Structure 1
Amino acid sequence: MATAKKEWAGGVGWIDYRHFYERHYGYLLRVAYRYCETYEDAVEVTQQGMLTVFRELKQMSIEYLSDENWVLDWMKQQVIVRCLEKSFVAAARAIDGSTADDAAGNSIRSQVAIRQDERLPIEDLDALNDRHLIELLRRLPRNHRMAYNLIVIDRYPMKMVTGLMSIDRGTASALVSAAREQFRKWLGS
């Protein structure tokens, strides 16, 4: 039986990247699938996110990496950033034919990174890992889905979400309310 390749990751020690990838890929793919338009897009952004995680993992302090909840939240953030980049860059192209991927991506990354300390405590909603609920979420219009994902599920502060989506607070609240109302209709409650 072949042994897994381990690599030295700075202050962390030896990491089995294959095991790390296999352990977290499914969870991160489900996060990406909530945001992306297609399964293929979700796979792409999950892999981009994992590449970023592997690159930055080597520079992480052991004190952060020993906290599994922090690591999961950080990896989830990397995937969400890639999803937002893909979504908003695609929207910008559709509107004005823009090809300024880097400018939009850098803007999203800086907004998420700067405000990470403002995040509400992470609270993984296991129910949303259920395939049926994810499919219902994906049926929402794009902006409703983005607002609901960011505010309700991933618990980003309203101020950050309004900046990322370039909308005002009232619009963000209306999007979330409309999404909740749609869920009530679909779930019959």
Structure 2
Amino acid sequence: MEGCLINDHKCQKKLYERYYGYALKVVFRYIYRYEKATDVVNDAFVKIFRSFKKFECPERENLEKIWMGWMKRIMINTAIDELRRSNMLPEIGGLPDHIWEVQDKSQAADAKILYKELIAKVKNLPPSYRAAFNMYIIDGYSHQEISEKLGISVGTSKSNLAKARMQLKNFLDKDLQEADICSL
């Protein structure tokens, strides 16, 4: 990381290659067209490299954790900026299967499948509900932060989250009913 502070292009390339898959997964929760998501990831990495001097890590033993949180926030903010520019129109598309490959091989295959299924259900939500769900549930933003980032009221953020949860519950209930019918 020290090389990135002095704009060493080799270090930047290594950092980019190491975290590209993670960054794409973060962005893809907001932007569903693969080509657009890769553009957003690249834009976010440009922001990261330009503002690398702002990254602070007082605890060296937690460097990776702090770095990934900082990077994740920039990825999310860049994706939200893109959604705002495109009036939060729903994105359509999918990721190639290699994107879902887990770098930590200790993660169970079932967890990977469940994650893909959840993201597929979240993709079916209206854009405003999807944004609130992703930001609050998955990325840990407060309703106040969501309100400020999306230019909506706190009440609208809470309402959108409640409606997203209800729709996801309905999607899952429907899937369970279909599974019960198929098992008869």
**Do the two structures share a fold, i.e. TM-score over 0.5?**
yes
- Closer/same/farther in 2, CA of residues 129 and 26 from structure 1, 3 Å limit: farther
2:9 & 2:80 partners in 1: Cα distance?
A: 32
Structure 2 stretches of 5 or more lacking a match? 90-110, 177-184
Q: Show the 5 A alignment for 1:1-189.
A: 8-10=3-5, 16-57=11-52, 60-61=55-56, 63=58, 67-91=63-87, 130-188=115-173
Tell me: higher relative CO, structure 1 or 2? Use CA pairs within 8 A at least 6 residues apart: 2
Percent identity between the aligned chains? Answer: 26
- Closer/same/farther in 2, CA of residues 147 and 76 from structure 1, 3 Å limit: same
Q: TM-score, normalised by structure 1?
A: 0.67
Q: TM-score, normalised by structure 2?
A: 0.69
- Closer/same/farther in 2, CA of residues 168 and 60 from structure 1, 3 Å limit: closer
**Once the 2 structures are TM-superposed, how far is the Cα of residue 54 of structure 1 from its aligned partner?**
2.3
Conserved? CA contact 1:32–1:80, under 8 Å: yes
Conserved? CA contact 1:127–1:133, under 8 Å: no
2:143 & 2:32 partners in 1: Cα distance?
A: 23
2:12 & 2:66 partners in 1: Cα distance?
A: 18
1:127 & 1:180 partners in 2: Cα distance?
A: 21
1:173 & 1:59 partners in 2: Cα distance?
A: 32
Partner residue in 2 for 1:111: none
Q: Secondary structure at the match of 2:75?
A: helix
Structure 1 stretches of 5 or more lacking a match? 1-5, 95-125
Conserved? CA contact 2:55–2:70, under 8 Å: no
RMSD: 3.2
